[in-house]
Amino acid sequence: MSQFYNPKRSRNLYDENKHEPYRLSRSKIELFMKCPRCFYLDRRLGVGQPPGPPFSLNSAVDLLLKKEFDIHRAAGEPHPLMAAYGVDAVPFAHEKMDEWRDSLGGGITYLHEPTNLLITGGVDDVWVNPQGELIIVDYKATAKSSEVNIDAEWQIAYKRQMELYQWLFRKNGFKVSPIGYFVYVNGKIDRRAFDGKLEFEVKLIPYEGRDMWVEGVIGKIHACLASDELPEAGAECDFCAYRRAACGLEHGLKQI
């Protein structure tokens, strides 16, 4: 993985003197929420966090779920999972569906004119209820023996992700239901043997989003990007903790 990591880049950096909107993804907003310093190093100075390993199995589950829901989207009928959980909706059929799903090249976008930041996010799925409200849907995959939920403290990132997507669709003029859903796929690890297959259980978890925080955070992000001062590190940022420890040891060795 290290051979692909560029520790210092010159592209996609924020420059307040440029007139074109600056593209800011959902994942970079989440980075700011976790650690303003890492965000500043990345978006302003061009030093991003080293990438983690690819989650190929998660990506495969995500792709297959999209194909499965697309079958019912084309037929204009609800997925059996919706019926099982009593969700009165069908997959939303729209010409921009593939674009909205493309987090790297497209996504659902909105230009926040006060800051000239182009906010983007790649949604997994969108359903629509009889009232014409869009339902934002996010796919998640894991493998654990216990029941899946979204109650862990670290899963606040999942909830913010849902809320940002809801905000983006509202800003694009759509009527959006406050209730979104996580399609949570759990690989069963309590089977006697692998036998060349992995069995999954699928759970639908509702979540009532509250997107009131988004506008304020965008303003803080703009102020951070426009500043010439390095912001404070996130209180629980492992990357910053590592840098502090490593720099301290390196400085001590240089004194010997």
Give 126-174 pLDDT, tens digit per residue: 999 999 999 999 999 988 888 899 998 999 999 999 999 999 999 999 9
Domain boundaries, the chain: 19-250
DSSP for 133-184, written as a single string? -EEEEEEEEE--SSPP-S-SGGGHHHHHHHHHHHHHHHHTT--B-SEEEEEE
pTM of the model: 0.91
How far is C-alpha 91 from the geometric centre of its chain's CA atoms?
Answer: 20
Residue 83 neighbours by CB under 8 Å, 6+ apart: none
Which DSSP category does 130 fall into? T
**Per-residue confidence band for 2, with pLDDT thresholds at 50, 70 and 90:** very low
* Contacting residues for 189 by C-beta, under 8 A, at least 6 apart: 143, 144, 145
Distance CA 36, CA 30 (A): 10
Judged against a pLDDT cut of 70, whether residue 255 lies above it is answered with no
Percent of the chain predicted with pLDDT > 70: 97
pLDDT (tens digit, 9 = 90+) per residue, 167-198? 999 999 999 999 999 999 998 877 777 777 77
What is the four-CA torsion angle of 83, 85, 91, 97, rounded to 10 degrees? -160
- The DSSP bridge pattern shows strands 108-112 and 117-121 to be antiparallel
**Is the CATH code 3.40.50 the one for domain 19-250?**
no
Sheet holding 117-121, edge to edge: 22-25, 117-121, 108-112
